[in-house]
Amino acid sequence: MNIVLLAAPGAGKGTQAQKLTAEFGLAHISTGDLLRAAIAAGSSLGLEAKGYMDAGQLVPDDLVLSLLKERLGSDDVQNGFILDGYPRNTAQAVTLDAVLRDVDKNLDAALLVAVDPAIIVDRLSRRRACKECGFTGIDTMRACPRCGGEMYQRDDDKPDTIGARLDTYATKTAPLIEYFKGQDKLVEVDGQGDPDEVYVRVKEALGL
């Protein structure tokens, strides 16, 4: 099964993707994680991307696409994947259709995890990520529950950037809801509540 996860920042995309990956062995492709890895590696692409990310803007399409294409070539993608954070604008959605067609793959569903924006700001300010494996947790976790790595607050989860990211979502990414509706691929779940409760809804909605 090949799925796109569509949701505002902090709506719990990453968490739901981690759960689906663990249970169904799907490859988790997070363009945010790929970009953060490029930054950590000190590559020129990472350096260029960082400024956009810290400002809450989208990184230019060509930079993200080159990371995505490389990742889609990995072996683990062959059993299905969850695309977390891509596409994020209509141009990327059109590109994705073409890229998948080239490798004879198809999207089964675009999963929209819907959450009230007021809840999102609170979630993002409390969010922490693992420096080692990218696991997403909250501010009460001292060490990563998955690998024991150090938890930190992403630069773009600081209050100044959160508003810009939500604006970017509303103007650039939310129009994709209509795009995927038009392809008859949109599946919507209520993202409010405990992550495990949301996960039950996600599986039901995807028929898993």
Joined together, the tokens standing for residue 181 give 């509706």
- Identify the residue among 5, 6, 20, 35 touching ligand ADP (CB under 6 A): 35
How far apart are CB 145 and ligand ADP at their closest, in Å?
19
Task: Tell me if residue 165 is catalytic.
Answer: yes
Whole-angstrom Cα distance, residue 48 to residue 52? 8
Q: What is the DSSP string of 118-177?
A: HHHHHHHHHEEEETTT--EEETT-SB-TTT-PBEE--GGGSHHHHHHHHHHIIIIITTHH
Cβ distance 75 to 3 under 8 Å? no
- Identify the residue among 27, 29, 58, 130 touching ligand ADP (CB under 6 A): 58
Question: 57 or 185: whose CB is closer to ligand ADP?
Answer: 57
Catalytic residue among 19, 71, 88, 123: 88
- Identify the residue among 24, 37, 52, 99 touching ligand ADP (CB under 6 A): 52
* String marking each residue 147-186 x if it binds ligand ADP according to CB under 6 A: ---------x--------x---------------------
Going through the chain in order, the beta strands assigned E by DSSP cover 2-6, 27-30, 81-84, 109-114, 127-130, 136-138, 151-152, 186-190
Catalytic residue among 36, 71, 128, 165: 165
DSSP structure class, residue 105: -
Is 5 an interacting residue with respect to ligand ADP (CB under 6 A)? Answer: no
Is 6 an interacting residue with respect to ligand ADP (CB under 6 A)? Answer: no
Task: Tell me if residue 36 is catalytic.
Answer: no
Whole-angstrom Cα distance, residue 128 to residue 120? 14
Task: Tell me if residue 127 is catalytic.
Answer: yes
DSSP structure class, residue 73: T
Q: Which residues bind ligand ADP (CB under 6 A)?
A: 9-10, 13, 31-32, 35, 52-53, 56-59, 64, 85-86, 88, 92, 156, 165
